[in-house]
Structure 1
Amino acid sequence: MTTKIPHEPQKGALNSAPLLDALSTAVFSLDRVGRITTVNSAAETLLGRTRRGLQGEPAAEFIEEAGAWFPLSENAGMVSYASLTELRRGLADPVRVRAVLSSLSAEDVRASGLPFDTACLLEVSELEDALQAERSAMEASVRAANSELLRNLGHEIKNPLGGIRGAAQLLETELVRDEDRECTSVILEEAARLQSLVDRLLAPYRRPRTSEPVNIHEVLEHVRSLIGLEFATGLRIERDYDISAPAVIGDRGRFIQIFLNLARNAAEAMTSERARGKAEIVFVTRIARDVMLCGKRVRLALRVDVVDNGPGIPEEIRGRIFFPLVTGRAEGSGLGLSIVRAFVEEAGGAISVESRPGKTDFTVILPLGSRKEAEKSDRSPTGGTGIKI
């Protein structure tokens, strides 16, 4: 059994280095015998304990294998250990983690601002989170390549398209017979349709008009009214809001486009449910803490879920649903969700989806503005303080 070794905290040791607190990975700084000298905020969250309470605890209390790594010899030079193991969390269930131990030089410790008796760092990441991060990095690389291709393609189409439309308009003024004019009308209509497609392709690359505090509940209420008019029968829209959330920062028009697209997709997918009067969309907002957004750790964020009770996303396209030109509808362009994702990421957020028959849940997570910024926007569309509307 591992026992706690008496350890006198040094002055200021409770404050972990600011750089460590910016990481989403749990990091423990340890002395030569494996006792915790300090931890970052992610480690506090992972173990459900405070920095002060963890100081002086042996790492082997949480990772059994760590007992074999210590003590570190002063003459051993730089050492490193890595292991896939279990992290024990008291009464909470243990979790599978990837643990990496790296020794530090005295110069590293001084430069980092860590407690002077620190000898090494232990990085701990939940295995599922680590695998998800790798998958996300691969997906981001593919999306970036696809986006660059589409942007270049859009510009290459747009240039000659203007010439085609101009020539057709000029030709139309010189034609006398109606049947000839019908041909130029077809050219102009198809050119306009192609222009619209190109504009949608290039939309994510245009800078937003404004960046200001936006009350997301007011945005959702606006979307609710638009969807209610478009799908007047057979569809019910419920709301479950945490109206204590402060504002998000971004372009209001783009936020409307994000949630209008998600809600419209949900409504269009529920054809049979609407015919039976059973279609339902639910807007849910909640505060999220300690989340990773765009490669950065965010302490406070707003989670918005758009949930429907439709047939679900076909399994064969579920993993590619945010890629351009991927759609489950014969009449769809496959651009809507790729634009949604681009707008969400432009606002510093992230979007994901979980889907099965009977329930599809699109989750948008956005970093929150400060409370001071939030005061500039209305707290709720109704001025109330309840949660469910």
Structure 2
Amino acid sequence: MTINDALHRLLLDNLTTAILLLDAELHLQYMNPAAEILLAVSGQRFHGQLVSELFSESPEALHSLQQSVHSANPFTRREAVLHTHNGQQLTVDYAATPLHNRSATYLLLEILPRDRLLRITKEEAQLSKQETTKMLVRGLAHEIKNPLGGIRGAAQLLARELHEPGQKDYTDVIIEEADRLRNLVDRMLGSNKLPFLAPANIHEVLERVCQLVDMESQGGITLIRDYDPSIPDVMIDREQMIQAVLNIVRNAMQALASANPPVEGRITLRSRALRQLTIGHNRHRLACKVEIIDNGPGIAAELQETIFYPMVSGRADGTGLGLAIAQNIISQHQGLIECESQPGNTVFSLYLPLEQGATNP
């Protein structure tokens, strides 16, 4: 190996972009450490194997790689979804460039992961929507509560002037309905009390939720616990966090109860520790991820973008406040809540920082 060859190899090995070099038959000849990390493979182990053994996209994509080699035309694909050999799914941009020398033809693949960037963009949009919704709800609540107070007060004064008990029934209805609306508005706003943060074991929170669910369902739902015991204590308001998780689990219970055809209900509570997680504009060294997974019918596609809005519900008898309250609680803990749903598998993911300090990404 010449000095130039050694320098070129050193440059490739230290690039943060994943680089793969394939021969004319699409067998792997080289992959740099960034590619090994991205695809979770060993370049030495997969040397000489077809690229389809490393990851797959579609038959058309493999044909495009072959065409690129034979026609000597480079191409770029945006936001391609790769399925790796170990079952991982990656969203990437990649560029294929044919290389020719006197003795052989190669194909250079440059792969840029997009998952993190797409996730950050989605989170920022979600946080922005959340703040807009909060402002809208608070303004609306203020406009509703003021006249409600006047209506209730007027009904009380009118009741004092009435002498027949039968007539007071009407004013009682006005007062009761005004109180009901006021309570509904208060629930929309959520608690004004800031969370009282103290170290707590997240699994104690999840176990408390499991106890409540067991009592409510009377054993009709199978609860699966999948905990990571290495997660340290989290700085949370224990009671508020129980309420947030319970709201999501109850939502799952109601979805399972409405499944048609009926299913044997399962709810999984899973915890994992994450490193270098970005929430909004802050990067956290360590975070806790809690997933609530159910095998219900899933959330309608048209509701998935708005399920955290107050008064949005997929059930005719639903108030649409449980998830909005849960999101507000998680937000007050500087965390994030996400949802992915398809028939038979709905996943609510809660992300909570495990340290108080954070850095800008």
TM-score by length of 2: 0.66
Equivalences, count: 282
Give the SS at the match of 1:270: helix
CA–CA distance in structure 1, aligned partners of residues 321 and 122 of structure 2:
22
With the length of structure 1 as denominator, give the TM-score of the two structures.
0.62
Gaps of 5+ in 1: 9-25, 29-41, 50-82, 100-123, 371-389
| Alignment map for 1:1-389 (pairs within 5 Å) | 3-5=5-7, 96-97=92-93, 126-203=113-190, 206-272=192-258, 278-369=264-355
Report the CA distance shift for 1:3/1:363 in structure 2 as closer, same or farther (over 3 A): farther
Q: Which runs of 4+ in 1 moved over 4 A?
A: 42-49, 83-86, 91-95, 272-277
1:233 Cα deviation after fit? 4.9
1:349: how far off?
1.4
Does the 8 Å CA contact 1:284/1:305 hold for their aligned counterparts?
A: yes
Deviations along 1:172-201, one digit per CA (max 9) or x if unpaired, are 344333332221121122112111111122
Q: Relative to 1, partners in 2 of residues 1:317 and 1:283: Cα closer, same or farther, differing over 3 Å?
A: same
Contact 1:312 1:360 in 2 (8 A): yes
Task: Indicate conservation of the 8 Å contact 1:247/1:369, yes or no.
Answer: no
State the distance in 1 between where 2:193 and 2:176 align.
28
Deviations 1:219-270 (A, max 9, x none): 1111122222222252222212122211111211210111010011111111
Q: 1:272 to 1:321 in 2, by over 3 A?
A: closer
Name which structure has the greater RCO, CA cutoff 8 Å, separation 6+: 1
Root-mean-square deviation (CA, aligned residues, Å) is: 3.8
Cα distance in structure 2, aligned partners of 1:353 and 1:174: 54
Per the TM alignment, residue 290 of structure 1 is displaced from its structure 2 partner at its CA by 2.1
- Is the CA contact (8 Å cut-off) linking 2:341 and 2:347 kept in structure 1? yes
Q: CA deviation digits over 1:47-74, x for unaligned, max 9?
A: 879xxxxxxxxxxxxxxxxxxxxxxxxx
Aligned-residue sequence identity (percent) comes to 41
C-alpha displacement of 1:299: 2.2
SS in structure 2 of the partner of residue 196 of structure 1: helix
CA distance in structure 2 between the partners assigned to 1:191 and 1:365 by the alignment: 38
Give the C-alpha shift of residue 210 in structure 1.
Answer: 0.8
Residue 226 of structure 1 aligns with an amino acid whose one-letter code is L
Distance change in 2, residues 1:125/1:199 (3 Å): farther
Q: Matched residues in 2 for 1:139 and 1:283: separation?
A: 23
Structure 1 contact 234–276 (Cα < 8 Å) conserved: no
Matched residues in 1 for 2:287 and 2:223: separation? Answer: 24
User: 2:7 is matched by which residue type in structure 1?
Assistant: I
